[in-house]
Amino acid sequence: MGRPPNHVLVIVDGSEAAKRAVVEGEAIATRVRRAPSVATLVSRGDPAVGCVRCVISVARWNQTLDEVAQERLDEARSALAARQAETGFFAVPGRGADGFREAARSLGPDLVLVPSHGAFRRRFVRRGEGSPPA
């Protein structure tokens, strides 16, 4: 498997598979004496587009999306057994595969875990061995 990762990132989406990925990411990070990072994607609308009613509507929608993202991160936090205080929790703007890539680029992990369901099957992606799932 090569050298151990210095930074493990787990992408969460509120699913049971994401909770399992958090537990697995924590186990990997603990073996190398590191704390994992946990991120969820938030697909916000542009509040500067349209009429006043549209701007208000988009702002409310974005607030709802931020609340959902916080709930996802809270679920991930509760799934962690140890290192909760050391773990970084992030709501990253983005959507789908491009959002995964941007989260990985901005947070700089050596290893990314993505929950296994739907179009994305849990994969381990290491820096220098490709990019997060497309």
Smallest Cα–Cα separation from 41: which of 77, 15, 63, 69? Answer: 69
Prediction pTM value: 0.77
Note the pLDDT of residue 39: 93
pLDDT digits (tens, 9 = 90+) for 15-63: 888 888 898 898 888 888 888 899 999 988 887 777 888 888 888 999 9
- CA angle (116, 34, 80) in 5-degree steps: 50
Rg (the chain; Cα; Å): 16
Note the pLDDT of residue 103: 83
Note the pLDDT of residue 117: 63
- The fold adopted by the segment(s) 8-114 is Rossmann fold (3.40.50)
Note the pLDDT of residue 83: 61
Note the pLDDT of residue 63: 93
Contact of 26 with 80, CB cutoff 8 Å: yes
Which secondary structure element, helix H or strand E, spans residue 71, and what is its range? helix 52-79
